[in-house]
A = this chain, B = another copy of it.
Amino acid sequence: MSDSINLSLDEVTQLAAQALTSNGFSTEQANAIALTVTAAERDECYSHGLFRIPLYLKAGKNSATNLKAEPKIGQSKSAVVHIDGCEGFCPLALQKGLPLLADKARHHGIAALAIHNVYNIAALWPEVETLAEQGLVAFAFTAANAFVAPHGGTKPLFGTNPMAFAWPRNEQPPFVFDQASSASARGEIQLHGIAGKPIPDGWAIDKEGNPTNNPDDALAGAQLPFGGHKGSSLALMIELLAGALIGDLFSYESTQKDTANYGAPFGGEFLIAIDIAHTVTHADAKTAQNRAEELFSRVLAQEGTRLPSSRRYDARARTLNSGVKVSKELYQQIKGYC
């Protein structure tokens, strides 16, 4: 791309961090966000890469956001770790919480991490992948802005509510999926609108609750869960886990709170980590992982299949050597913030 420039991953991190610290973020908050943004660029998940820096800056203009938040660790002898994000962004709270969660999982066999009071506009795969890289099985759940109607209903109530899962693999990156409980990402509808293309059936309904292929009508109406009532039940489960279970906001409450439309959902994130060494019997964790490898190879032996995250890992193999391409327009925009 002649309209793009090449950056090393370190340069991405520095650029992202500088844009944030130049706009009031503490070094710690900025660095944690910058690493998340870099991981996304590295894996060519552009919508969570540098593209997101302007969204962090917009969210940071909300006076309720604490750009210098220092997450607080809740003490507990149980298998549940609490981190109060203190109205900062999620990445730093995760950075503090994940090692504690991993320790608890190794000690108790299963453990949970409740992240409270954070603004979260990052993907969930980085945290479950981090845990699986340490040999743990991991889940993550978070609610979001209320854009999705419950199955059978017509009005936005649930967030696009992603759920992520990771399983550690032998000598290669973990098995990871991170999927919204909506039929599509909101950004995909927006991209169809920009391109002047109709959206597929099943993605959304208009304000009156009728199925629509018009991106604008979809954005003004409601997104639909994936897979009908089953995806809707998952979306509701995620509201309960990331909302009621840990005492943080539901998606609709987060949307109500964001009256000036700063865009970043406020609330919690709930994670579970499991140590295979405690759950497997008659064998060890290594044997369990080898058995999983046999299952993966049977999936991949069928032509037309792939494992989730394989595109990310393919991208990573390229970018770790050659860096990433960033559009000049986006690069200049972010440089302008520094």
Contact = CB atoms under 8 A, between A and B. Distances in A.
Interface residues of A, number: 72
Contacts of A279: 80, 112, 114, 245-247, 270
A64 B112 CA distance: 38
Contacts of A229: 308
Interface string A220-262: 0000001111110100110111011111001010000000000
A150 interface: yes
29 contacts: A76-B109, A79-B110, A80-B109, A80-B110, A84-B281, A110-B112, A110-B272, A112-B274, A114-B281, A137-B240, A150-B299, A152-B302, A153-B299, A153-B305, A157-B298, A157-B302, A167-B240, A167-B244, A227-B227, A229-B308, A233-B308, A236-B295, A244-B289, A245-B276, A246-B281, A247-B281, A247-B287, A250-B291, A250-B295
A303 interface: yes
A292 B241 CA distance: 10
A295 to B, nearest CB: 6
A152 B304 contact: yes
Contacts of A276: 244-245
A207 interface: no
A151 B300 CA distance: 11
A328 to B, nearest CB: 34
A108 interface: yes
Nearest to A167: B240
A82 interface: yes
Contacts of A80: 108-110, 278-279
Contacts of A107: 78
Given A247-B283, A279-B245, A308-B233, A240 B292 contact: yes
